[in-house]
Structure 1
Amino acid sequence: MSKEILVCGAGIVGLATALALARRKQPVEILAPLPAPLAPAGDPYHPRVYAISPASQRFLAELGIWDALPAERIMAVQAMEIHGDADGCVTLDAWQAAVPQLAWIVESSEIERVLTQAARLSGISWIQDRCVGYQSGAVLTEQGGQLRADLVIGADGAKSPLRLAAGLRQQSAPYDDIALVTHLDVEIPHQGTALQWFREDGVLALLPLPDSARGPQVSLVWSLRSAAAKAIQALPAAEQAARLEADLALATAGRLGRLTVNAPVHGFPLFLEQAEMIAPGLALVGDAAHRVHPLAGQGLNLGLGDALALAQVVAERESFRAAGDIRVLRRYRRARAEPLLAMRLATDGLHRLFGSHSMPLAWLRNAGMTLVDQTPMLKRRLIAEASGL
C-alpha cells in the first residue's frame, strides 16, 4: 500500500499539516487513532491553552477553521506587561503596532475539535492505527501494518516513535524546571492583558481568559525549579491551592487582586530540544522536531509555522520531484532554520539571563527592560517579531 504523503499523528500540528497539504491538492493520509467526537466545551476551561499569534491566526483562517472556533471561548490579548525581578517593566500594547490585538488565547481542545472536523469533512483518509516503528522505508503500525509513502511526516509528539525508529538525531537538554498549569479566578478584571514576571524562582505568566460564570479568570503557567514544583505537586489538593494562592499573592503584588485556584494543577517538565528535521522521505514538524522554553508562549506557533512551510514547499516542488525528495525537504529545513534558531536563542537566552543571581546582570536586565519600555521603535519591533508580522 503506497500513498504519496502520510502524516503520523493527529494533534494540532499534525492535523494542520494534513489539512494544509489537502488544501493544496496534495494526496495525504493521516495515521493516528481517531479521537472520540468532542462537543463544544463549557465550564471549566480546558487546562491547556495556547497564545495564537497573528501569523498562526492567518494560517488557521486559511485552513478554514478559525471562524469555526466558538468566539465566546476566545480571548483577544490587547496588551502585555512584562516585569523583571526588580523594577524593570515593559508594556506592549496592540495600538503601538497599529494592530487590533497581539494574540488570541484559545483552548487546545477547541482547536483540536475543529481541526478534526475539518479533516474529516475534507475527505482526508484516516488510518486508525499508530506508528510504532520505521524500517526499510516503511512505517510499522501497532496493528502489524507496513505503510509506504513518498513522504512520511512525523507529527507524533516530543517522544516521536517515528523519529526514534528512523534514527534522526536529537539534542535534548532538560531545564530542571516544571511548568505548573492551572486556571485562576481573579478579583480585578484583566482587561485582555497578559502578565508575565521574570523571577529568581522562575517565570510566571497569567494569560487572560474569557469570563466564567464566577467572573474574570486567567490561565496560570508558572515555570519553577523542579524541586519547588514537585513540593507543590505533592500536597493534597486543598493545601496545594492554598500554597499556590499565597505564593501568587506575593509574586504578583496584588496586580489582579485575590487569586483563587479553580481547576486541577498540572505539571509539565521543560526541555530545550532540536532534532534533525529531515531525511530522505521523512520530515518532522512540531514537538517531534523541536521544543523551547514556554516563557514566550511560542511553542505551538512554531509548530504551525512548520506545517505551513512544509505544505508550501511540497506543493510548489517541481513536477518531476517526489514529495519526499531530499532537495524538496532541504527547502523546508532552510525555511524554518532562521525562525527556529531565533526563538531558541531568545527563550534560552532569557531563561539564562534571569536565572543568574549576579548583581551586575540583575541591574543590567532590569535597566534594559526600562530602556525598551521608553523606546517606541523597539517596542514595535518586539511586537512585530512576536506576531510574525
Structure 2
Amino acid sequence: MKAFYLLLFHGSFIFPECIFIFCLILLLVIDLTSDQKDIPGLYFISSTSLVMSIAALLLRWREEPMIGFSGNFQTNNFNKIFQFLILLCSTLCIPLSVEYIECTEMAITEFLLFVLTATLGGMFLCVGNDLITIFVAPECFSLCSYLLSRYTKRDVRSNEATTKYLLMGGASSSILVHGFSWLYGSSEGEIELQEILNGLINTQMYNSLGISIAFIFITVGIGFKLSPTPSHQWTPDVYERHDIGESHCYYSNKHEIIGIIVGDSNDGYASMITYMLFYISMNLGTFACIVSFRLRIGTDNIRYYVVLYTKDPFLALSLALCLLSLGGLPPLAGFFGKLHLFWCGCQACLYLLVSIGLLTSVVSIYYYLKIIKLLITGRNQEKPLKCEIIEDLL
C-alpha cells in the first residue's frame, strides 16, 4: 500500500522509470495472452518506451535538483546525464540484436524483458540516495545480466560462463552489503547518504578503523561490477559467450575508475562524461561488427577473422577503427576522450592514477593491434586455414 501511495503521488518524480515499468507489464501481458509472437510489435513497444523515456528525461532537464520518495531518490542534471547514457546505449543495443535473435530463433520476449529491466535498474542506481536503493538497483541490473549470459541455453560454454558469473556475483554482493552494514552501524543507523555523512561527523567515526573496513568491502563489491584487475576473471567468459545484450554493460573499463576519482571539479565531470560517451559508441560499434561477422560466417572464433578482410573489407575496416579508438590512437575519438581525461587528472595532481591509466592504455593497444593484424593481413602460419575457409564460404 505504501509503495502504491508513493507511486501515485510521486510518480512524476520517476516518470521515465514508470514508462519502463508500464512497458514491462505490457510485454508480459502480450507474451502470456498471445499464441503467435508479433516480433516487430514487441520491438516497436520496447524501442518506443526507450525513446519516450529519453524524451521525458530531456523535458525535465531544467528542473531544480530534488529529493523524493522519502529520501530514497535524488535527481539532478549530473545523474540525468548518466541516465541518458544508459537509455541511449539500450536504445542502440536492441536494434543491433534484431537480426541475431531472428536467425537463432531464440525467445524474443525474454531478451527484451531482461534488457529493459537491466536498464531500469541502471536508471534507479543513478538516482539512488540511500544504501538500500544503491544495493537493490545494481542487483536488478546484475540478475538480468546473469540471465542474458545464459540466454543461449544450448551452448555449453554459455552455461559455464553463467555459473562463474553467478557465483562470483553472489559473493561480491555479499561483500558489498557487508560493507554497507559497517557504514550503517558507524553512522548510528542511517541509510541516506547525507545522513550517513552527518552521522559519521557526529560520532567522529569518519577516521575510524570501521570506516576503512567498510570502504575496503565496498570497493571490492563494486569492483566486481566494474571488472578492473583483479576483479575481471568473469569478464572474458561472459563476453565471449554472449555478444548481444551484454553490450549495454559499458561500465567494464578500469579507466573509468580514474574518471570517477578525477571527477571532483567541473572539468573532471566533463572529461568523465565525454570519455564514457565515446566509450559507449566504440563498444557498440565493436559489438555490432562482431555480431555481423558471426551472422555472415556462422562463428565468432577469433582465428576465423583472417577471412574478414576478404569477405567484407568495409566491416573489417569498421572493426579496426573501433578497436584503434578503444586503444586511444589519434586522430580517433578515443584519443581525445582519454587526452581530456588524463589532462584533468594532471590538473588535479593525480599523477599516479594518470600514469597507471597511460600504462594500461599502452598495454591494451598491443592486444588491439594483434586483432587488427589478424583482420587485415592474417598470420603466415594461418594461410592454409585462410584459404580453406575462403573456399568453404565463397
Whether the TM-score (by the shorter chain) exceeds 0.5 is: no
The structure having more radius of gyration, on CA atoms, is 2
TM-score (norm 2): 0.29
> Where is the strand percentage greater, Structure 1 or Structure 2?
1
> Where is the helix percentage greater, Structure 1 or Structure 2?
2
TM-score (norm 1): 0.29
Larger RCO, structures 1/2 (Cα 8 Å, 6+ apart): 1
